[in-house]
Amino acid sequence: MTRDPHWSDWRWQMRHRVHDEATLREYVTPTDDELAAIEATRDIFRWNITPYYASLMDPDDPDCPVRRQVVPRMSEMAPDIVGVVDPLDEVGHSPVKNLIHNYRDRVAFCVTAECAIYCRYCLRKRMVGDADFMMRKDELGEALDYLAAHPEIRDVLLTGGDPLVFNEANLSWLLERLRAIPHIEVIRLGSRLPVTLPYRITDDLCNLLRAHHPVWLNTHFNHPKELTPEAAAACAKLAEAGVPVGNQTVLMRGINDDLATMKALVEGLVAMRVWPYYLYQAQLIGGTAHFRTSIETGMALMRGLRGHTSGFAVPSYVLDTPFGKVPLTMDYVRGRAGDHVVLESTRGDLWAEPNPLGDETPPLILPEVDLPPGIATLPTGAPTFVPVAEGYTETA
Ligand code: SF4
């Protein structure tokens, strides 16, 4: 395929994202399942792929780990064990629109609902790609007022959506206002663009970030195929601008839940000066069952990494819950109670994560425990989908 002369212009990439069958055919031979899923999910979750990320997909293998992350599958429509759209109760923790204040001293500020691509397993399916969750300037201002009025907040994560879809002028406006709040020590960016649109990491952007230090950035590589020379160059630019880059991987069945893949990923990240920060257990979002794997599989992967590669290449394996992140180590994992894994959060709360084994043979056996009566958990057996806008209303 001949590349457009503007290929490495990030704005060109945004304007030419893949979101129809004809354009998809320029990159892959779609399966009947993929074509059916593109239609079936149209009103449920937006579909977009940057030409750069599309070019990493295997044209002939629908199980390609890049392709599976971004091309819809009919599995998204399968009945699921959960019907929630907001498993972390982010809406309940939002005192103003799109500002999640769950931890005392830090917040996640969803400054936009737009992303360059829409990952099929996204935690924020309920809002990303949905115009209702875009932030007008006055709404950003309300959130900034909240931050200014809360001196206990020292760390602000700009997320979304993806904050780096903002142009420099808008980002500069936002960073300047954040830096005018004296108690905000650290600004973090949560962005997948180093992975999905590395051309976004321009000299202008790096100069802007450099002017507002300390700025950290966490990105989201899931598979070694994503560790391209373009992505490495983007991460190097950030490092050279003094922005520490961390990575948050989501553990996904058939994508990265085997030791060879995970080891290649974390070692490749370290070679790119990116710190493998978290390995997340996939969240329980309706329509993502085909991505989920057992907690025991994740714990066994961690055993395979710890002591077998550089210590700083070993991420923390965690599950996010409405009570905050729980490290998935035996210190916090009490055991298995049938289809649930019983956990204790760092705050001392008990949480039962629905996590059926199915026909899987776990590589590590958890002790059997009883499900304590009244333990907090998510409802199971509910319908698969709640349309995005309706989901917000329902959980608000
Ligand atoms: S880039 Fe992040 S926020 Fe956007 S769809 Fe992917 S996982 Fe979700």
Residue 351 lies in a domain: yes
Q: Domain range for residue 201?
A: 99-395
Give the integer Cα–Cα distance in Å for 89 and 106. 16
Cα of 17 vs its chain's centroid, Å: 20
DSSP track, 307-371: TTS-GGG-PEEEEEETTEEEE-STTTEEEEETTEEEEE-TTS-EEEEE---TT---SSPPPB---
Same domain, yes or no: 170 and 256: yes
Per-residue pLDDT for 384 more than 70? no
CA dihedral angle for residue 27, residue 125, residue 80, residue 351, rounded to 10 degrees: 130
Asked if the model's pLDDT at residue 88 lies above 90, the reply is no
Task: Give a yes or no: residue 377 inside a domain.
Answer: yes
pTM: 0.90
**94 belongs to a structural domain:** no
Q: Burial level of 338, CB count in 10 A (0-12/13-18/19+)?
A: middle
Q: How far apart are the first and last CA of the chain?
A: 47
Nearest to 267 by CA among 208, 214, 309: 309
In degrees to the nearest 10, what's the CA dihedral of 319, 321, 323, 325? 20
What pLDDT, on a 0 to 100 scale, did the predictor assign at position 365? 87
DSSP state of 291: G
Query: For 119-124, what is the mean pLDDT?
Result: 94
Ligand 1, residue 159: give the atom nearest the CA.
Answer: 3
pLDDT of 39 > 70? The answer is yes
Residue 179 located in a structural domain: yes
Query: Could you tell me if residue 385 is inside a domain?
Result: yes
User: Parallel, antiparallel, or unpaired: how do β-strands 106-110 and 99-103 relate?
Assistant: antiparallel
- CA angle 188-190-193, nearest 5°? 130
Q: What is the CATH number of the domain that holds 380?
A: 3.20.20.70
- pLDDT the model gives residue 307: 87
- Residue 273 structure tokens: 């000066």
pLDDT at 394: 33
Going from the Cα of 334 to the center of ligand 1, the distance in angstroms, rounded, reads 31
- pLDDT (tens digit per residue) in 264-283: 999 999 999 999 999 999 99
The answer to the question of residue 82 being in a domain is no
Residues 166 and 22 grouped into a single domain: no
| Best probe residue, ligand 1, of 44, 68, 115 (max atoms within 8 Å of C-beta) | 115
Q: Is residue 5 part of a domain?
A: no
Contacting residues for 39 by C-beta, under 8 A, at least 6 apart: none
Distance CA 5, CA 9 (A): 9
**How much is the pLDDT for 358?**
82
Q: What whole-number distance in Å separates Cα of residue 276 and Cα of residue 270?
A: 7
Claim to verify: residue 54 and residue 172 sit in the same structural domain? no
Q: Which of 17, 124, 222 to mutate to test the pocket of ligand 1 (most atoms within 8 A of CB)?
A: 124
Distances from the Cα of 372 to the Cαs of 230, 307, 334, in angstroms? 50, 35, 11
Q: Per the structure, how many domains does the chain have?
A: 2
Pocket residues for ligand 1 (CB within 6 Å)? 115, 118-119, 122, 124, 128, 160-162, 192
Q: Are residues 207 and 325 in the same domain?
A: yes
Mean pLDDT score of the chain: 92
Q: pLDDT tens digits, residue range 191-231?
A: 999 999 999 999 999 999 999 999 999 999 999 999 999 99
Query: Among 1, 71, 2, which Cα is nearest to 30's?
Result: 71
- On the question of pLDDT at 331 being above 80, the answer is yes
CB burial of residue 62 (10 Å; 0-12, 13-18, 19+): middle
Same domain, 254 and 379: yes
Instruction: Count Cβ neighbours within 10 Å for each residue of 293-306 and write b for 16 or more, e otherwise.
Output: bbbbbbbebbebbe
Q: In this model, does residue 396 exceed pLDDT 90?
A: no
Question: 47 with 162, same domain?
Answer: no
Residues in Cβ contact with 5 at an 8 Å cutoff, skipping those fewer than 6 apart: none
Same domain, 252 and 367: yes
CA dist 300 and 262 (Å) reads 12
- Bridge pairing between strands 99-103 and 316-321: unpaired
Does residue 219 sit in helix, strand or coil?
Answer: strand
CA of 289 relative to ligand 1 center, distance in Å: 17
Could you tell me if residue 1 is inside a domain? no
- pLDDT over threshold 90, residue 84: no
